Amino acid sequence: MRRKIVVGNWKMNNTIAESVELATAIAEKVGGDGVTCEVGIAPTFPALHEVGKVIEWSGIRLCAQNCHYENDGAFTGEVSTRMLAAAGCSYVIVGHSERRQYFGETSQIVNRKVQKALAEGLSVIMCVGETLDERERGVTDEVVATQVVEGLADVTDLTNLVIAYEPVWAIGTGKTATSQQAQDVHAMIRAKVAELYGQQAADHLRIQYGGSVKPSNAVELFGMPDIDGGLIGGASLKVDDFMGIVEAAG
């Protein structure tokens, strides 16, 4: 039985003080009895260390929103995986659609980041997803399968990897794929992973859904057989909304 995983991606929101306040409130709820799913939060880089201190006791995973594929060097504005590990991160999000769309990240760049993060001992959430144009042209499966194959090139062990399916047209728009639409793509991803790594690896791989997940639709989404939790954007910035989604995951 795959353990559900819910991760809040705070994106470029909140000062350090605001991040600590939000993380503290979430930790107080998650740290109690009754939460069985894995929970993570991904604040901005400046807030990682302080947030890590206030969630350490709660079991919440500290996650980074991005990384570079080199250990160090002349890469102004970048952060390496070894720096993230030293800051207490256990997960890093790689290949988010906003990184692909606004910063020109290709699947080849995503693959280098995946390999570097796994080698550093971090767990990876690798994001894949299609645009509205690709969805309307009927090439969703082709696009997402290609992102999976290219993103996992030369990766031999999926133990510390999670895939997040995020249809680009449903991120921050208020739109969401129907539960069945999401399930269909998740099932396709799992089948592609089985083709690449075998059925046992595919059965153990957790695949999250991201794209305007809310407490009102989380129960139905997470009830689908191949949806193993969510990568949550806007709703993760509000304690009650985020906890509603966490509770829907178990």
* Distance in angstroms (rounded) separating the CA atoms of residues 18 and 28: 16
Quote the pLDDT of residue 9: 98
- Residue ranges of the chain whose pLDDT lies below 70: none
Closest Cα partner for 94 from 117, 61, 60? Answer: 117
* Catalytic option among 96, 98, 105, 134: 96
Structural domain includes residue 145: yes
pLDDT digits 0-9 by tens, 114-171: 999 999 999 999 999 999 899 989 999 999 999 999 999 999 999 999 999 999 988 7
Residue 166 annotated as catalytic: yes
Tokens 């031999």, residue located: 156
The verdict on whether residue 123 carries a ligand-binding annotation is no
- Please state, in angstroms and rounded to a whole number, the distance separating the CA atoms of residues 242 and 247: 9
Range of the domain at 204: 66-233
Task: Look at residue 191 and tell me if it is in a domain.
Answer: yes
Q: Do residues 179 and 138 make contact, with C-beta atoms less than 8 angstroms apart? A: no
193 part of a folded domain: yes
d(CA 37, CA 117): 23
Active site residue: 68, 98, 166, 186, which one? 166
User: What pLDDT does residue 196 have?
Assistant: 98
Give the CATH number of the domain where residue 189 resides: 3.20.20.70
What domain count does the chain have?
1
60 falls within a domain: no
52 is in an annotated binding site: no
Give me the pLDDT at residue 1, please.
84
Residue 164 placed within a domain: yes
Rounded to 5 degrees, what are φ and ψ at 41?
-135, 145
Residue 51 maps to a domain: no
54 domain-assigned: no
Structural domain includes residue 144: yes
Residue 53 known to bind ligand = no
pLDDT for residue 212: 85
Tell me if the pTM is above 0.75. Answer: yes
9 is in an annotated binding site: yes
